[in-house]
Amino acid sequence: MTVTAPKPPAAGQAPEPKPDGVTFTIDGIETTVPKGTLVIRAAEQLGIQIPRFCDHPLLAPAGACRQCLVEVWAPGRDGKVAKMPKPQASCTLTATPGMDVRTQRTSAEADKAQHGVMELLLINHPLDCPVCDKGGECPLQNQAMSNGRSQTRFVDVKRTFPKPIAVSTEILLDRERCILCQRCTRFSREIAGDPFIDLQKRGAMQQIGRFDADVLGFAGAGVDGEDGAADGTLAFDDRVFLGADIPVGPAEDDESGSPFASYFSGNTVQICPVGALTNAAYRFRARPFDLVSTPGVAEHDSSGAAIRVDHRRGVVLRRLAGEDPEVNEEWITDKDRFAFTWQSAADRITTPLVRDRAEDGTRGELHPASWAEALEVAAHGLEQARAAGGVGVLPGGRLTVEDAYAYGKFARVVLGTNDVDLRARPHSDEELAFLGHAVAGTGLGVTFRDLEAAPTVLLAGLEAEEEAGVVFLRLRKGVVAGRTTVHAVAPLASRGLERLDGTLLRAAPGTEPEVLDAVGSGDLADLGAALGAEGALILVGERLAAVPGALSAVLRLSGRTGARVAWIPRRAGERGGVEAGALPTLLPGGRPVADAAARVDVAAAWDVEHLPAEPGRDTAAILAAAADGTLGGLLVGGVDVRDLPDPAAARAALAAAGFVVSLEVRASEVTALADVVLPVAPPVERPGTFVSWEGRVRPFPQALTSTAMPDHRVLDALADELGVTLGLRTVAEVHADADPLTGEWDGARVAAPDVAAAEPPAVAPGHAVLASWHQLLDAGRLQDGEPFLAGTAKRPVARLSPATAAAAGVLDGALLTVATDAGSITLPAVVTDMADHVVWLPTASAGSQVRDALRAVPGDLVRVGPAADGTAADGTATDEEVTA
Amino acid sequence: MADTPDKSVERKGGGGEVARPATVRPYESLIPKRSAVADALAPAAGFGVTIKNFFSRTVTEQYPFETAPVKPRFHGRHQLNRYPDGLEKCIGCELCAWACPADAIYVEASDNTPEKQMSPGERFGSVYQINYLRCIFCGLCIEACPTRALTMTNDFELAGPTREGLIYEKQDLLAPLAEGMLAAPHPMVEGTTDTEYYRGEVTGPTPAQVDWVAEQRPDDPTLEAGRRRAGGTSAPATASAEAPAPMGREPR
């Protein structure tokens, strides 16, 4: 198509057009925009509001709702500016040179067209605004007022549908309110990649469809889609044969005929411009004018997604995605959106608790105490424990950077030890070296924008959709745009990897270093070359810590190819804790403990004579030392015992420890064994800062008025009681103390780890190597109290390859028992195309608490075989059954 | 202190700021002088007003022994109305709270469920509070109400010894059940939607609703009247419901 040279503009003055700019007029105002800009965006830049429903800046143009009609005059072939015969949808129209657009502000025709479209949209829209959740924040309501008729002329009977359909346990669809803008279907298809279903039927009966075997011709389902309950049409075991991810709760079938399962479906509720999609948790709970909105940062993963916390009278009612183009754009995971009730759960600890011990050390009951008493008891106990061998500090990985800094400083200044480790998960010394070498103190490294621009991304030990949902969306954005190719080192290609159009580098757990070292030679020569391209990335998950040699191999690969490395842990506080020095070998800002200059540096900043010089114990060693009495006591933060590599040993250590102080939000297994429990504030009741995996500082304000104190303030008070002034009472004080230390460390960094890979174990018959990772929605404690969300979690299944299943004597869909000497887990087996001699289990889902039940981590050998008796007919064994 | 004058302060001589008027005029009353006779009769004339009122109509209100009637459209205490079958009209939409210029109304809504259908449709107001310390009785809430659930009564006796007591809760505001109404919760009339309710097509409880209540709450005090009212429409259903009701039928 030839571009017509712009004619001299009718109105005199002509701004200098940019080289690739397009100059045209909107409402008589001349503007220059980059080529390819949509007219509706150009109008936005001029401050001209054109009404719209289907248009969304992050979705492809659709022109579905026709609300944005404008009058357009454009130069024809003859160069004369002529009026287009009909009004044009400005959301699909790219600006062309010399175009003259007249919106409803200057054109009666455009205004009349918009009024006509609005009247049409409202014909079948039920005027049930008083009961609709969207009422008060509804674009249809607002634009019907601004661009619609004040009186309806429609006198006939409106089309109605039975309401509402539960698309999943969380998402409800009210078809009669729908104006067919297709924002939800476009989001599901373009952004999340898990389409529910598209439009069906025509004319007045057009609707966002449900699964209809007649329409979609799915062979397996012999039911009509009129009003049949979708669940129960196939037995669960039959559905497992499909191999798809099945949600726990009932859900409508998606267009593949399997129940709809998505981790991002909450976004469709937020972008729905009418009340057609609502969510069960917030249904009928509040009105927008009730709500006080506070910006926040999601505490569920390390992405640091921007959220908006809406609360009323001290109760959080919902969370929405915040807008941050650098981080999460406008999308968050359902976990970020819906999992907030844990912060106000019934087992919240509101007062300090103190336990009396008998002379022989047996524990009495916890009883409420005043802060003064509890701090005194805690200080006295810690003092004694310090004298009796020392105190180990386990802050946990969910804390803000302020808290992590306070734990690190408390350990070193007050307790005089480096025994502080925030890693409440499988970990290794190799990982410590990796973090000190490549992560701590490196500032903002790889960013979300780098993800979507990267030509090649290699995922190692990271299941992006399950472990960092926003990362998945950004990767998919690059993939869909044709820029990014994804490779993953994993035992199996998950549905998330398939939606990333990714290539699987099949690796049984433990053999990742081998595969990583092979990149660049043999079959993987192409990948090695691709990783050498500008912008190529290696994304490393926290799970790689459990594989000896893997992180060393990652650094070798990075050195070989030049690809940049980003470490993406699961928990929100891990990167911040690494920066703040809550690790046994690292001081704040990536300063190595072993480096005397670094210690002097920090000691001067903290105004102490010297810091403990010898590197501390890691989490496992701290727990072991507490168990055998080497350590006198423990100071534990937000640690869930089930997350630790060996929960049973951790419980034993907590029980054996001479003195345990727990800083917790809610009653937990740790508080059940603690001598002093000091309540702390959840993120919504305190200000703070998370550091995302990028190294981006994500501060958030306090949303709710509260008297609860954050960890750093409690630690400051505890230090006061012990006669040390930490100076960490407020967030401002912490930053005044910490920020000079978290800047650039110009000294020597920790040396890169060079650990040899372990020999893969010989797999005896009846055995398999365990592979496992967390699912996004599982039995985690931060998802408590949200049954609607829990219903959208994927059903836990065990996955194994056809050969492994045959060797184990398990049929697809039958119950499989995975056992070690510690216990067993029984789940339905799903035969998957994956590495042989490997069995995959979800790490911490209901009925599949791998660390707890099996005392095994990925790479360990487990026994596999058919379930002894047909227990757990629903496919999920309860914890009691598992451990019995 | 106060009785010891401060002697250090000297009177300033001269008083230069304000000039004295040149001459001082003696006081003269502006009231015209009455005649001597009028002066003599003045006390009696004063009592005349009093004496005249001995014979006029008494305006004293015997409140609180006799409540004074107000005009029919007086803006008094609010009332949450019910449909003729006893379901509540309030759907918890909060438009009253939105309209309220004094921020006196607080509403929380909840889902109607088959086990607990409080109002027609999907939604009902589970919490409804009006703070009469704040309410200015402007009536904007009444205009806002889309289901005519909220109206105002003529009750103006809104005083109390505590602040908390003047926050009226839903049970304080709900209209009493009229004769024949069946206490909520109970299902909607069969085959109707909230539209039929709104149009006034529901005129009373049906036998099916009475049966449901008899099954769920055999001791409900509104059951008898509801049954009598519903009996007019479908006698057999009512009769069948009547027999087992006193026994207290087991819930299914």
pLDDT, average across residues B4-20: 58
Predicted complex ipTM: 0.81
What's the CA dihedral at B235, B241, B242, B244 to 10 degrees? Answer: 150
Amino acid identity of residue B9, one-letter, is: V
Split at pLDDT 50, 70, 90, the class of A591 is very high
Token reading at A211? 């699964």
pLDDT digits (tens, 9 = 90+) for A790-823: 999 998 999 999 999 999 999 888 899 999 999 9
Characterize the bridge pairing of strands A353-357 and A363-368. antiparallel
Rg for chain A, CA atoms, rounded = 29
The CB density around residue A815, as the number of other CB atoms within 10 Å, is 22
pLDDT at residue A211 greater than cutoff 80:
no
Task: Specify the higher pLDDT residue, A7 or A801.
Answer: A801
Rounded mean pLDDT of chain B?
Answer: 84
pLDDT digits (tens, 9 = 90+) for B136-171: 999 999 999 999 999 999 999 999 999 999 999 999
Q: Give the span between the Cα atoms of A596 and A602, in whole angstroms.
A: 10
A44, burial (CB in 10 Å: exposed 0-12, middle 13-18, buried 19+): middle
pLDDT at residue A282 greater than cutoff 50:
yes
Residues B111, A284: C-beta atoms closer than 8 Å: yes
Residues A284, B98: C-beta atoms closer than 8 Å: no
Characterize the bridge pairing of strands A688-691 and A798-800. unpaired
pLDDT more than 70, % of chain B: 83
Kindly report the CA angle at A317 between A342 and A696, in degrees rounded to 5?
70
Q: Which of A287, A311, A315 to mutate against chain B (most B CBs within 10 Å)?
A: A287
A365, burial (CB in 10 Å: exposed 0-12, middle 13-18, buried 19+): exposed
Please report residues of B whose CB lies closer than 8 A to that of A134.
none
Residues A289, B98: C-beta atoms closer than 8 Å: yes
Whether the CB of A855 is below 8 Å from some CB of chain B: the reply is no
Residues A131, B110: C-beta atoms closer than 8 Å: no
The CB density around residue A107, as the number of other CB atoms within 10 Å, is 21
Split at pLDDT 50, 70, 90, the class of A876 is very low
Which residue in the set A129, A163, A283 is minimally distant from B111, CB to CB? Answer: A283
- Eight-class DSSP state of A190: I
Helix, strand, coil abundance in chain A, percent, nearest 5: 30, 20, 50
> Poorest-confidence range of A545-549, A795-799, B199-203, B231-235?
B231-235
Q: Please check whether residue A544 is in contact with residue A551, taking contact to mean a CB–CB distance below 8 angstroms.
A: yes
Residues B147, A136: C-beta atoms closer than 8 Å: no
Please report residues of A whose CB lies closer than 8 A to that of B94.
287, 289-290
Query: Crossing angle for the helix pair B207-216 and B235-242, nearest 10 degrees?
Result: 10
DSSP A661-720: EEEESB--TTTTT-SEEEE---GGGS-EEEE-TTS-EEEE---S------HHHHHHHHHH
Please report residues of B whose CB lies closer than 8 A to that of A284.
92, 109-111, 122-123
Sign of the CA dihedral A597, A603, A608, A613?
Answer: negative
pLDDT digits (tens, 9 = 90+) for A378-421: 999 999 999 999 999 999 999 999 999 999 999 999 999 999 99
Q: Is A826 helix (H, G, I), strand (E, B) or coil?
A: strand
Which residue in the set A131, A163, A283 is minimally distant from B93, CB to CB? Answer: A131
pLDDT at residue A235 greater than cutoff 70:
no
pLDDT more than 70, % of chain A: 92
Q: Give the span between the Cα atoms of A668 and A802, in whole angstroms.
A: 41
Q: How many CB pairs under 8 A join A and B?
A: 34
Whether the CB of B218 is below 8 Å from some CB of chain A: the reply is no
Return the residue of A nearest to B123 by Cα.
A131
For residue A164, cis peptide bond before it (omega within 30 degrees of 0):
yes
pLDDT at residue A709 greater than cutoff 80:
yes
Which residue in the set B108, B111, B146 is minimally distant from A130, CB to CB? Answer: B146
pTM score, whole prediction: 0.86
Please report residues of A whose CB lies closer than 8 A to that of B109.
284-285
Residues B93, A163: C-beta atoms closer than 8 Å: no
Split at pLDDT 50, 70, 90, the class of A747 is confident
Distances (CA, A) of A213 to A210, A228, A231, A253, A255: 10, 11, 14, 10, 10
Q: Give the span between the Cα atoms of B42 and A400, in whole angstroms.
A: 90
Please report residues of A whose CB lies closer than 8 A to that of B147.
130
Whether the CB of A136 is below 8 Å from some CB of chain B: the reply is yes
Return the residue of A nearest to B122 by Cα.
A131
Kindly report the CA angle at A684 between A683 and A687, in degrees rounded to 5?
65
Split at pLDDT 50, 70, 90, the class of B34 is confident
Whether the CB of B150 is below 8 Å from some CB of chain A: the reply is no
A732 φ, ψ (degrees, to nearest 5): -65, -40
Residues A163, B94: C-beta atoms closer than 8 Å: no
Q: Give the span between the Cα atoms of B204 and A883, in whole angstroms.
A: 58
H/E segment holding residue A577: helix A574-580
Please report residues of B whose CB lies closer than 8 A to that of A136.
98
Q: Give the span between the Cα atoms of A175 and A216, in whole angstroms.
A: 19
H/E segment holding residue A818: strand A815-819
Whether the CB of B143 is below 8 Å from some CB of chain A: the reply is no
Whether the CB of A157 is below 8 Å from some CB of chain B: the reply is no
Whether the CB of A126 is below 8 Å from some CB of chain B: the reply is no
Residues B94, A285: C-beta atoms closer than 8 Å: no
Sign of the CA dihedral A664, A463, A841, A249?
Answer: positive
pLDDT of the residue at B231: 78
pLDDT at residue A225 greater than cutoff 50:
no
Q: Is B94 helix (H, G, I), strand (E, B) or coil?
A: coil
Token reading at A304? 């640091």
pLDDT more than 90, % of chain A: 74
Q: Is A316 helix (H, G, I), strand (E, B) or coil?
A: strand
Token reading at B24? 């001082």
Task: Specify the higher pLDDT residue, A161 or A606.
Answer: A606
Please report residues of B whose CB lies closer than 8 A to that of A289.
94, 97-98
Rounded mean pLDDT of chain A?
Answer: 88
Please report residues of A whose CB lies closer than 8 A to that of B108.
285-286
Q: Is A635 helix (H, G, I), strand (E, B) or coil?
A: strand
Q: Please check whether residue A261 is in contact with residue A239, taking contact to mean a CB–CB distance below 8 angstroms.
A: no
A522, burial (CB in 10 Å: exposed 0-12, middle 13-18, buried 19+): exposed
Rounded to a whole number, what is the distance in angstroms from the first to the last CA of chain A?
Answer: 73
Catalogue the long-range contacts made by A446-451 (C-beta closer than 8 Å, 24 or more residues apart): A446/A537, A446/A539, A446/A564, A446/A565, A446/A566, A446/A694, A447/A326, A447/A694, A447/A696, A448/A326, A448/A327, A448/A328, A448/A474, A448/A694, A449/A326, A450/A535, A450/A537, A450/A564, A451/A475, A451/A478, A451/A484, A451/A537
Residues B111, A290: C-beta atoms closer than 8 Å: no
Distance from CA of A667 to the nearest CA of B (A): 30
Whether the CB of B109 is below 8 Å from some CB of chain A: the reply is yes
pLDDT of the residue at B10: 59
Residues B108, A136: C-beta atoms closer than 8 Å: no
Half-sphere exposure of A159 (CA within 13 A, CB side): 17
Q: Is A538 helix (H, G, I), strand (E, B) or coil?
A: strand
Which residue in the set B91, B97, B108 is minimally distant from A131, CB to CB? Answer: B91
Q: Give the span between the Cα atoms of A700 and A294, in whole angstroms.
A: 9
Q: Give the span between the Cα atoms of B33 and A128, in whole angstroms.
A: 78
